[in-house]
Amino acid sequence: MKREPAKTFQDLIVWQKAHQFVLGVYQFSADFPKTEVYGLTSQLRRAAVSIPANIAEGFRKKTAPDKLRFINIAHCSLEECRYYLILAKDLEYGNSLELTSQLEEVSRLLTAYSTSILNSDS
């Protein structure tokens, strides 16, 4: 059974999951030490927000190469988050296991989304 094409970026499961990841990052990083407000807290949040933001921006691009460029940027931001979660864990700022699991799911969905763009007729 083929899914109906998304009408807005909010219809994309990958965007929905990435948005949930951002909400989790904000909650997780709220308890970081105050000394990290302009450091790890800011960097992690910025990189996390970049994931669904670039999915949204790429959604309206007309050509596959343009769409893929934004999906690639989202994936790069995801990898940046992966490192920040490792750092937060190593600094003992909290348990990042659940967020890491969400990150893996978003990564798989981004890969599938980029593959579907590559294989589409448009």
- Whole-Å CA distances, 78 to 7, 41, 110: 24, 15, 10
At residue 22's C-alpha, the angle toward residues 18 and 23, to 5°, is: 120
**CATH fold of 10-119:** de novo design (two linked rop proteins) (1.20.1440)
Q: Using one digit for the tens of pLDDT, what is the confidence trace for 4-38?
A: 778 999 999 999 999 999 999 999 999 999 999 99
d(CA 33, CA 103) in angstroms, rounded, equals 23
Predicted TM-score of the model (pTM): 0.92
State in Å, rounded, how far the first CA of the chain is from the last one. 20
d(CA 74, CA 54) in angstroms, rounded, equals 5
CB atoms within 10 A of CB 116: 9
What is the pLDDT tens value at each position of the chain, 122 positions in all? 556 778 999 999 999 999 999 999 999 999 999 999 999 999 999 999 999 999 999 999 999 999 999 999 999 999 999 999 999 999 999 999 999 999 999 999 999 999 999 988 54
